[in-house]
Structure 1
Amino acid sequence: MTDEIPREPTQLYLISPLDVGGAFPDRLARALDAGPIAAFQFRVKDIDQHEAARLAEPLLRVCSDREVAFIVNDSIGLAKRLGADGVHLGQDDGSIEEARDALGRDAQIGVTCHDSRHFAMEAGEAGADYVAFGAFFPTTTKETKHVAGLDLLEWWQGIFEIPCVAIGGITPDNCAPLVRAGADFLAVSGAVWNGDEEAAVRAFNAAIKAEF
């Protein structure tokens, strides 16, 4: 019997609040410096691409200086304009093929799969770099239409090599079962930005480390 290959430790995937103006670049720097954090997703709504690019550029520099991947939510065009590390696509945000053509072979392309094994398998077959499942817990960050269970992470981890991201209402206090079930990344937003971002990042990493 061969020994099972040990999993890489779960990592944090930080998602921006909707308001990223003002002093937010300083908050982002503090959060990343409290790391480790694997990636930061720039997520804004209802503003044009010019304004989004203006807000994103200082955040992109903060991430680049710390070698943290900068992922743009929803917009392939904005990701290309910024020279971002990748894009995160919802089910209605364009295809992986379009994103790959626009952003290149090395771009990180993730896909929201909600609670759907079918969506996740389709994304994997189409060349996604990661799939995101959720929401696992109630969240105030966005409306919850889909609820995912731990069995989804266990199933994915047991069959596929593409990393999976858990999202939705995740806190340092409730993340341990997700880590144990096989989440490669924990996507977190409100639990970090609604309080002291440094303390939250440290608490998340301590909770993760306790499971490995």
Structure 2
Amino acid sequence: MSHRCRLYLITPPKFELDAFAAALGDALAGGDVACVQLRLKDAADDEVLRIGRALLPIVQAADAAFILNDRPDLAAKLNADGVHVGQDDASYTEARALLGKDRIVGVTCHDSRHLAMEAAEAGADYIAFGAFYPTGTKEPKHWAEPEILEIWAETAETPCVAIGGITVENAEPLVRAGADFLAVSAGVWAHPEGPRAAVAAFNAVFERAAG
């Protein structure tokens, strides 16, 4: 298996900026990270922009993409690398219109290959399936099985992200099923040995599965 999965980091639901900026830098020093998604569901627009402006250069300095959750309008203001939209957020079409053709637009597709095909055909840069495992970040309304990753990998070219309760311990079945990226939040930030060790451990899983 030559395919190598990559890590898609998601910020914690709440954090203190200075302390988290240090933790983020530490995590990014642990190994390959494809992108970092700033996910602040309940923050005011000006707070999202303030935090985004502080974190974006840290992410980009590590050669990772800075993705904003939900808000293509704010992603455009931040000059972020892309945006991730859910089924209840701005549409893919709106996001693409705001960000242009050269930035990343990813779409949540839950456990639905139909939604994933629609997003891929529209031009999404990646689609996200999940939740695969219980998660404390939010209460999942949809559950996905690794089989959906296998089918997608065999039938589609658009990259797929697996999300939901993923840790170093439970990651490998999703990688072997064909996930291109694993979206992880608490699995990195709450890792007992710290975020840098967590990123290194995820990369070790990816290397083992790719070999």
TM superposition score category, shorter chain reference: over 0.9
- State the AA in 1 paired with 2:113: R
| 2:168 equivalent in structure 1 | 172
Displacement of 1:18: 1.6
* Equivalent residue number for residue 6 of structure 2: 11
* C-alpha displacement of 1:8: 3.2
CA distance in 1, matches of 2:67, 2:34: 11
Q: In structure 1, what is the Cα distance between the partners aligned to 2:67 and 2:25?
A: 16
Q: Does 1:97 align with 2:84?
A: no
Q: Distance in 2 between matches of 1:32 and 1:85?
A: 17
Q: Moved runs in structure 1, 4+ residues, more than 4 A?
A: none
Q: Which 5+ residue runs of structure 2 have no aligned equivalent?
A: none
Is 1:123 aligned to 2:131, yes or no? no
Q: How does 1:51-200 map to 2 (within 5 A)?
A: 51-195=47-191, 196-200=194-198
What is the Cα-based RMSD across aligned positions, in Å? Answer: 1.1
Per chain length, whose mean CA-contact separation is higher, i.e. which structure has more relative contact order (CA < 8 Å, sep 6+)? 2
**Helix, strand or coil for the counterpart of 1:211?**
helix
Q: Which residue of 2 aligns with 1:209?
A: 207
1:126 deviation in Å? 1.1
Amino acid at match of 1:79: A
Of 25, 41, 61, which residue of structure 1 is paired with 2:21? 25
* Structure 2 CA distance for aligned equivalents of residues 113 and 158 of structure 1: 17
Q: Percent of counterpart pairs with the same letter?
A: 54
From the superposition, tell whether residues 14 and 69 of structure 1 become closer, same or farther in structure 2 (CA, over 3 Å): same
Q: Distance in 2 between matches of 1:114 and 1:197?
A: 27
SS at match of 2:18: coil
1:118-160 CA distance string (max 9 Å, x none): 1111111111000000011111111111110011001110111
TM-score (norm 2): 0.95
Question: What letter corresponds to residue 19 of structure 1 in structure 2?
Answer: K
Paired position in structure 2 for 1:3: none
The one-character-per-residue Cα deviations of 1:13-66 (angstroms, maximum 9, x if unpaired) are 000002242311111011011120000000002221111111111110101111
Provide the TM-score with structure 1 as the length reference.
0.95
Give unmatched runs, 5+ long, in structure 1. 1-5
